[in-house]
Amino acid sequence: MKIAGLASNRGRNLRHIADVAPGGAELSVVLTNREQAPVLEAATERRIPTEVVEREADESRASHERRILDRLADYDFDLVCLDGYMRVLTDEFLDAAPTTLNVHPSLLPSFSGMDAHEQVLDAGVRTTGCTVHVVTEVVDDGPIVTQEPVPVYADDDADSLKDRVLHDAEFTAYPRAVRWFAEDRVTVERGGDEAGANGDPIDVTVEGDAGGDFPERRFVSEERAETLRYGENPHQDAALYADDGREEAGVVGADQLNPGAKGMGYNNYNDADAALNLVKEFDEPAAGVIKHTNPAGCATSDTLADAYDRALSTDAKSAFGGIVALNRECDADTATAVADSFKEVVVAPGYTDSALDVLTEKQNLRVLDVGPLGEGDDRFAERSTEKPIVGGRLVQDRDLQSPTADDLEVVTDREPTDEQLETMTFAWKTLKHVKSNGILFATGTETVGVGMGQVSRVDAVTLAAMKAEKDAEGKSAEGAVMASDAFFPFPDAIEEAAEAGIEAVIQPGGSVNDEDVIAAADEHEMAMAFTGSRCFRHD
């Protein structure tokens, strides 16, 4: 798609569109009605042809526009984009030119006209933005193509608001509208309900601009809940933003029951969130110990204190300075065990008075009460996860898979025992929270060794075996179950697991070499079951 841009001054939106080329669109010409308009130099720097057509003294609008159309006739363009073009276009121009768009610095129909930012501030509204609309002869009244909101802050003046609307709204909405036109998703036709030039109705339809789980557009509104001491590292500033509409129990907004301790930091929140999400997986009393968002250990048991002891003994060395999460009210026995070594944070859905007496004696331990976790699917009100990346945001369904023994496909000659099947499902729920490539060894319903974040699956097996041998207290990989977050591309990881003493394996399956992997498991008399789906975790 090719664009003819009309501007009277700097043309910053046109420059931005030229730089980002939304949908592959490019400016074929920039025309101004001012000889000294800065947009001319900017266009020349971008090797965009320019034209100047000033309105002569006493010249009519219609005559001036005919000269503009004559000058534009030498260029190929499919769309006209106005940017601070300080003239009202006549119906004659709009009929002769392709669809013409403009961007206005407010959420029309509110605050039309020249002084939109001053109107916004005078009205005391808390949200403004911009509107991209089809131009008609009626100023700021054409059918809307898209809009983008921005907040209005208490200390704003017209200049600060203008700057924010330009960079945070116009630089988003105008390229979006152009991209939609370039992708042939916008239909502009007369005969609709919106009044256009000379009262002739114009209708605008955007194909695919729909809602649903992954809508065409997303608006996120969050309040800054806390300015943090620093980010991941001391040289990085950081803040915590809260969604006031949240329904799921979480560490954001959780009560810190020992306010005399240090406040939560960026890493504390990140790790505590990971730890809490881990123990939400289980109906039974569960405890998890997290270090750098990876499980150092996890277990379920009949009592919370025993679950914590089993989780901690997986890798007590790595648990030093870690995060503890519990899915039951913390009692005195569990609190005593938690306080026995240095931890940064403990997270639970409540605490007994005697547990608080123990935990609050630890000056640097943050004690968070997240409130009731709920039961079953009610524990997971948020159905998606997201990760910001430069220039955008990745959004995906939350990984809520929780296979039962009946869901597994046994593929080896040896059948897993009932105990091994129970361990497989426990290991899979825990493995979902291990960074990929992830391998987890478990016995019963407790971890034995964790190999996380390796670029080689064989290395992840080696690491899990090493952790089980060197760091687990009273545990062994001998006779354990191994869980893998993705298929084994070759039998070498099975050979490594067999050397460590693994007797059963749970993995997704689906490799072109599944037959060779299964044969290796049969050779070592391992039981192996497929889940049919992987559980990668990359952040």
SS3 441: strand
- What one-letter code names the amino acid at 527? A
Structure tokens at 445: 């319903």
Phi and psi, residue 380, nearest 5°: -125, 75
Residue with tokens 């009460």: 369
Can you tell me the distance from the alpha carbon of 56 to that of 64, in angstroms, rounded to the nearest whole number? 8
Count Cβ neighbours within 10 Å for each residue of 371-390 and write b for 16 or more, e otherwise. eebeeeeebbeeeeeeeeee
- Is 329 in contact with 359 (CB distance < 8 Å)? no
SS3 80: strand
Query: DSSP strand E in 43-183: where?
Result: 50-52, 79-83, 100-104, 127-134, 144-151
Sign of the torsion angle spanned by Cα atoms 120, 124, 130, 136: negative
Residue with tokens 């054409």: 142
Per-state percent for the chain, helix, strand, coil, to nearest 5: 30, 25, 45
For the chain, the C-alpha Rg in angstroms (whole number) is: 31
Structure tokens at 314: 């997986």
Can you tell me the distance from the alpha carbon of 252 to that of 53, in angstroms, rounded to the nearest whole number? 58
- Residue 131 region, left (φ>0) first, then alpha (ψ -120 to 50), else beta? beta
Q: CB within 8 A of 222, min separation 6: which ones? A: 241, 242, 243, 244
- Is 178 in contact with 200 (CB distance < 8 Å)? no
- Is 111 in contact with 123 (CB distance < 8 Å)? yes
Is the bond preceding 109 in cis, omega lying within 30 degrees of 0?
A: yes
Structure tokens at 500: 């460590």
Can you tell me the distance from the alpha carbon of 129 to that of 5, in angstroms, rounded to the nearest whole number? 22
How many Å is the maximal CA-CA distance in the chain? 97
Q: Considering 16, 64, 104, 433, which one is annotated as catalytic?
A: 104
Work out the burial of residue 166: count CB atoms within 10 Å of its CB; fewer than 13 is exposed, 13-18 middle, 19 or more buried.
Answer: middle
Structure tokens at 136: 């008609």
Active site (annotated) includes residue 104: yes
- What one-letter code names the amino acid at 222? E
- Is 426 in contact with 445 (CB distance < 8 Å)? yes
Nearest to 307 by CA among 283, 326, 329, 335: 326
Q: Which helix (H) or strand (E) holds 397?
A: strand 392-397
Nearest to 494 by CA among 470, 469, 524: 524
Active site residues: 104
